[in-house]
């Protein structure tokens, strides 16, 4: 996989937010997030910023709270304390209907196992977010086919997830996450269930497409080789985030 390289994000400063002279205004910001699962504290005063077009990796061992962080940032769960702002909107102040709308339009989410609808073909899985947003079925399926083509799985369009390889299904899941033209993609261990070759193909397709579209990507991973695709990396430890310098 590729060596870690500096992108538009530049090197972060010691505060963990990625501020720097001339840095672009952050698109997504979280300050002081606290989230507990029962008596287990997953996030403790966690703060992070993501800029438009940036690929940011959040690393840390399994069970360190990475998925909890993603769920808070995507508005899937509400933090116990702290705030998340997207494009000037405080997510904790928005009703569930508005959060659902953001996840249909502005946010794309990819999980470790893709979570495609098993009863639908790959084509219909990718078309589904468009149809939920009001696009007609024929137009949605046409656009879905274009996105499957972009991710190299157009030939599997009429297969159901159980009939596809893990790498094929995950690329279809990426197409589904990006088909609506989101401004932010949240990718939670997108290669965790794949072998190294399939994982590299998935990451190459994700990064290429995100760069082309100017989409910001928040990449959750415990794999240093996957994190190497990012412009910038922060590490989650004891519920807080620590920036890691990016090397050429």
* CATH number, position 237: 3.40.50.300
Distances (CA, A) of 29 to 4, 25, 42, 68, 174: 23, 10, 18, 15, 24
- Would residue 112 count as lying in a domain? no
pTM of the predicted model as reported, rounded to 2 decimal places:
0.84
Measuring CA to CA, which residue among 16, 36, 56 is closest to residue 227?
A: 56
pLDDT given at position 12: 33
Domain presence at residue 160: yes
> In this structure, are 125 and 69 located in the same domain?
no
Spatial distance between the Cα atoms of 50 and 131, rounded to a whole number of angstroms = 29
| Cα-Cα end-to-end distance for the chain | 14
Task: Say what the pLDDT of residue 244 is.
Answer: 64
Separation of CA 122 from chain center: 20
Q: Are residues 128 and 225 in the same domain?
A: no
pLDDT digits (tens, 9 = 90+) for 3-15: 333 333 333 333 4
- Which pLDDT score is estimated for 7? 37
63, 92: one domain: yes
CB neighbours of 182 closer than 8 A, spacing ≥ 6?
A: 105, 106, 107, 108, 215
**Last residue of one domain, picked from the residues 160, 181, 202:** 181
Residues 231 and 187 in one domain: yes
Ranges of the chain whose pLDDT falls below 70: 1-24, 114, 244-248
- Kindly report the backbone phi and psi dihedral angles of residue 127, in degrees, each rounded to the nearest multiple of 5, phi listed first: -75, -25
Q: Could you tell me if 99 and 202 lie in one domain?
A: yes
- Looking from the CA of 33 toward its CB, the CA atoms found within 13 Å total 31
Assigned token pair, 41 = 């504290």
Same domain (yes/no): 124, 7: no
Q: Does residue 111 form part of some domain?
A: no
Is the same domain home to 163 and 74?
no
The answer on 149 and 56 residing in a single domain is no
DSSP strand pairing (232-237 vs 216-220) = unpaired
Residue with tokens 């949240």: 186
Check residue 24 and give its pLDDT.
64
Shared-domain flag, residues 85 and 198: yes
- Tell me 121's DSSP state: -
Residues 66 and 143 in one domain: no
Q: Among 162, 181, 200, give the residue marking a domain's end.
A: 181
Please give the torsion angle defined by the CA atoms of residues 177, 180, 186 and 191, in that order, rounded to the nearest 10 degrees: 20
- The Cα 238–Cα 230 span in angstroms is 22
Range of the domain at 85: 1-106+182-243
Residue 22 within a domain: yes
Our count of domains for the chain comes to 2
Q: Are residues 171 and 188 in the same domain?
A: no
Q: At what angle do helices 166-178 and 196-213 cross, to 10 degrees?
A: 10
Q: Is residue 227 assigned to a domain?
A: yes
State residue 18's pLDDT score: 43
Scanning the chain, the segments in alpha helix (DSSP H) are 66-73, 96-105, 122-132, 137-150, 166-178, 196-213, 224-227
Q: CA nearest 127: which of 135, 35, 166, 65?
A: 135
170 and 191 part of one domain: no
pLDDT at 193: 82
Is residue 221, in this structure, part of any structural domain at all? yes
């Amino acid at each position: 996989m590729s060596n870690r390289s500096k992108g538009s994000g530049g090197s972060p400063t010691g505060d963990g937010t990625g501020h720097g002279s001339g840095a672009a205004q952050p698109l997504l910001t979280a300050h002081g997030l606290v989230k507990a699962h029962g008596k287990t504290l997953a996030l403790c005063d966690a703060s992070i910023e993501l800029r438009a077009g940036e690929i940011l990796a959040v690393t840390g061992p399994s069970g360190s709270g990475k998925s909890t962080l993603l769920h808070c940032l995507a508005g899937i769960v509400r933090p116990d304390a702290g705030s998340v702002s997207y494009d000037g909107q405080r997510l904790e102040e928005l009703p569930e209907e508005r959060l659902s709308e953001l996840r249909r339009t502005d946010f794309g989410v990819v999980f470790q196992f893709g979570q495609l609808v098993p009863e639908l073909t790959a084509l219909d899985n990718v078309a589904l977010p468009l149809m939920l947003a009001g696009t007609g079925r024929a137009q949605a399926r046409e656009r879905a086919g274009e996105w499957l083509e972009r991710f190299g799985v157009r030939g599997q369009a009429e297969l159901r997830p159980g009939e596809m390889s893990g790498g094929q299904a995950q690329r279809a899941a990426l197409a589904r996450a990006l088909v609506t033209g989101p401004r932010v993609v949240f990718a939670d261990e997108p290669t965790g269930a794949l072998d190294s070759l399939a994982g590299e193909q998935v990451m190459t397709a994700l990064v290429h497409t995100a760069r082309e579209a100017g989409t910001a990507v928040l990449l959750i991973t415990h794999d240093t080789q996957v994190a190497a695709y990012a412009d910038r990396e922060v590490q989650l430890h004891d519920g807080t985030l620590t920036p890691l310098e990016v090397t050429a």
